[in-house]
Homo-oligomer: A and B are copies of this chain.
Amino acid sequence: MKYIVAIIQPDCLNAAMDELGKQGVDLVTVTEVMGHGRQKGEAQVYRGHKEAGRLLRKIKLEIAVNDDYVDKTISAITTATRTEQIGDGKIFVLPLEQCARIRTGEVGPVAIG
C-alpha cells in the first residue's frame, strides 16, 4: 500500500477529483496549504511595508491506495492538473504499512477503498 501526497493548484481540485473518480480512486483527503516553490509568490505592501510574499495557496491531496492503483492515481492527477506552467505541483509517494477502517475495524488493503 502507498500513501500518495500531491500538491496542486487550487483551481485544479475539481478536475483532479473528477479524473481520480474515473480511475476508481474515490477516496481522498484534501487540505488547504501554502506552498513555496519555483513559482514565486506575489510581493505585498502594507502601508509602505513590503513583504516578499513567499507563499502561495495550494491544495494538498492525500490518497492511500493499494499498490496496483499507484500509477493510475499519479497519471490521473497529472492529467487533470498539468498546465505546463510553473507551479503545477508535485506528487510524492510514501510507503504505507497499515490501514484500518474505523467503522468496521477492517485492516489492510481491503480497508483502503
Q: Which of A97-113 contact B (CB under 8 A)?
A: 97-105, 111
Copies in the complex: 3
Q: How far is the CB of A100 from chain B (nearest CB, A)?
A: 4
Q: Does A15 contact B (CB under 8 A)?
A: no
Contact present for A26 and B36 (CB under 8 Å): yes
Which listed residue, B5, B58, B90, touches A101 by the CB 8 Å rule? B90
Contact present for B103 and A85 (CB under 8 Å): yes
**Closest residue to A103 on the B side, CB-wise?**
B88
User: Please, which residues of chain B bring their CB within 8 A of the CB of A111?
Assistant: 90
Q: Do A64 and B36 contact each other (CB < 8 Å), given the known contacts A86-B103, A105-B78? A: no
Q: How far is the CB of A10 from chain B (nearest CB, A)?
A: 12
Binding site for B on A (CB under 8 A): 2-3, 5-8, 17, 26-38, 54-55, 58, 60, 62, 64, 74, 77-78, 81-105, 111
